[in-house]
Amino acid sequence: MKNRAVGILIIVIAVLIGYIIFSFNQAMVDIVDTACSHGFSCPMWGTIEFQTNVSIGIMIFIIAIGLYLIFFGKEEKIVTKIKTIKPQVEPKKFTKKSYQKVMSNLNKDEKFILEKIIEAEGTIFQSDLVDKTKFTKVKVSRILDRLEGKRLIEKRRRGMANVIILKH
């Protein structure tokens, strides 16, 4: 909602509160007039005056807030971000041939693990690597740490499992 509209709404509510205050005070004056036989020296008259002053003060404060919003409130601009849709590009195929140069610098176990990742098209769970290679969990973990150190793969945590991603 715009600040100006909110300010007008607040002032309308304050005017309604003023009407309620006026009606309530008239009813209280009638009640005190019939119930109190002391005249204006009755303590109830003082209470009515205090309640009237406090309620008018609150009403004036609310009106001041409304006037501030109408005249000085800054309008906020809502900026929406539009997502750009990238064209669908076919994912890069991972082949042993594209990694021949890299494979020449790896030992036998590292080559074997990297081949399994390539066969899985670049993404595989670490637990699946353990199953496919028949290596122990510890051995697979250490080999993956070395391959990650050589910046060939990336390990990402997914819940209680690791996903191994081949870097391009």
HEC letters along the chain: CCHHHHHHHHHHHHHHHHHHHHHHHHHHHHHHHHHCCCHHHCHHHHHHHHHHHHHHHHHHHHHHHHHHHHHCCCCCCCCCCCCCCCCCCCCCCCCCHHHHHHHCCCCHHHHHHHHHHHHCCCEEEHHHHHHHHCCCHHHHHHHHHHHHHCCCEEEEEECCEEEEEECC
53 and 101 share one domain: no
105 and 45 share one domain: no
67 and 7 share one domain: yes
The answer to whether position 79 is within a domain reads no
The answer to whether position 85 is within a domain reads no
61 and 102 share one domain: no
pLDDT tens-digit profile of 24-78? 888 888 888 788 777 677 777 778 888 888 888 988 998 898 888 888 877 666 6
**Domain with 146 in it:** 97-166
The answer to whether position 83 is within a domain reads no
The answer to whether position 86 is within a domain reads no
pLDDT tens-digit profile of 103-159? 888 899 999 998 898 888 889 999 999 999 999 999 999 999 999 998 889 999 988
The answer to whether position 47 is within a domain reads yes
pLDDT for the residue numbered 75: 67
Count how many domains the chain has: 2
What is the model's pTM? 0.45
The answer to whether position 64 is within a domain reads yes
103 and 52 share one domain: no
101 and 65 share one domain: no
- CATH number of residue 126's parent domain: 1.10.10.10
